[in-house]
Amino acid sequence: MKHLHSLFLFISLLASSALNAQCENVTLENLTNPGPYEIATLTEADGIRNGPDYAGATIYYPTNGTGPYASIAMVPGFTALPSSIEEWGPFYASHGIVTIIIGTNSLVDLPEARANALLDALETIKQENTRSASPLEGALNTNQLAVSGMSMGGGGAQRAAVLDNSISAVVALCPYLNSPALNHDVPLLIFSGEEDLVAPSSEHANVHYNSTPNTTDKLLFEVVNGNHFVANSPSGSEGVIGQVALSWLKLQLEEKECYCPLLTNNLLLNPPAASNVLQNFECEALGINPIAQAIGYSPNPTKNTVTLNITEKVLFELFSPLGQSLLKNELTPANNQIDVSAFPTGIYYLRIKNKTMKLIKVD
């Protein structure tokens, strides 16, 4: 038993060291536009594949980073050209994510056709990894592939996840998709605009979120006063769009778990840029919430009160799923309970010592 304890401690130290190395420079300030890497582009004139399910492509890639790189394929919306979303290419690539932005065979392609176009674009990415004349030969992680799109392209991105469950992440930009069938387990980020008149959140983004299984990691970020085009660029909503999208891809696509608390503790906690935030992923499930383990809180879920295992005086604040502050006070070892009986059933966030923990209230 002593040897097993020593082995467990050794493994834990290794994991901690790897996590700390992964966490270096993971701050809001480093989610810049552009990022740290220089970029270059490839087109069909440079020898990249001409996919039959899309019309024309540009690949944006970092030139001074270290692979293997994750990749994302992007498609524009109904009647729109690739130029309408092209700012995402340099942004992602400058942060180490190879990006292919495609056109559609018809400007009026519907979401299902755009889903197939995205899957075809991912095939082009895979072939770049083996094309001898490509600067990306051997530099791509073909197990880390994501899809994204705007409007009907966003609807197509969600459908692509249904058609190919090997995809690692989806970013849907103000998506348009009627009667969604979204039974998939691919982590999904949805941006929507509060004032979107083309694809109103109540008819599209919110429906898409609710139609995706609750067992799937998912996040909906509705931009306050945002219109249908608020997420066409990473600079949308003063750069918050890019910060959230990049953090999501770093977490779900590249599997860098340190971006989870950056999302939950910073970007999604009472964000002034959002009129609505829905999410069902939690950092605790990834094993990266040491404050929760150090303090301990139970029961969770709870009907009435939650008890915290604390040895010193602490301040706490309870937030609603929308990031609204509901309750704040001081706890001591002798007075260590929080009463949530007056609040409706749902998910809440408990913030202690600059860390955030998920709390579930049930009837």
| 45, part of any domain | yes
In a domain, 140, yes or no: yes
Q: Is residue 11 part of a domain?
A: no
- Over 70: is that where the pLDDT of 292 sits? no
Domain-located, residue 2: no
pLDDT in tens, 28-46: 888 999 999 999 999 999 9
Tell whether the model's pLDDT for residue 297 goes beyond 70.
yes
203 shares its domain with 111:
yes
pTM tops 0.85: no
Cβ atoms of 53 and 105 closer than 8 Å = yes
Burial (CB < 10 A; 0-12, 13-18, 19+), residue 66, is: exposed
SS3 258: coil
**231 and 350 share one domain:** no
Supply the residues annotated as catalytic. Answer: 151, 196, 228
Quick count: other Cβ atoms within 10 Å of Cβ 284? Answer: 16
Cβ neighbours, 10 Å, residue 45: 6
Please, which contacts does 17-25 make with residues 24 or more away whose CB atoms are closer than 8 Å?
19/257, 19/258, 19/288, 22/256, 22/257, 22/258, 23/258
Give yes or no for residue 171 having a pLDDT over 80: yes
299 or 89: which leads in pLDDT: 89
34 or 24, higher pLDDT: 34
337: domain CATH number is: 2.60.40.10
Chain segment 95-144, per-residue pLDDT in tens = 999 999 999 999 999 999 999 999 999 999 999 999 999 999 999 999 99
The enclosing domain of 250 has a CATH number of: 3.40.50.1820
Structural domain span for residue 301: 290-361
Of residues 82, 126, 127, the one with CA closest to residue 104? 82
Of the ranges 180-184, 196-200, 212-216, 321-325, which one carries the lowest mean pLDDT score? 321-325
Query: Which residue pairs from 307-313 have beta carbons closer than 8 angstroms and sit at least 24 positions apart in sequence?
Result: 307/336, 307/337, 308/336, 308/337, 308/338, 308/352, 309/336, 310/336
Number of domains in the chain: 2
Cα dihedral 321→193→232→116 (10° resolution): 80
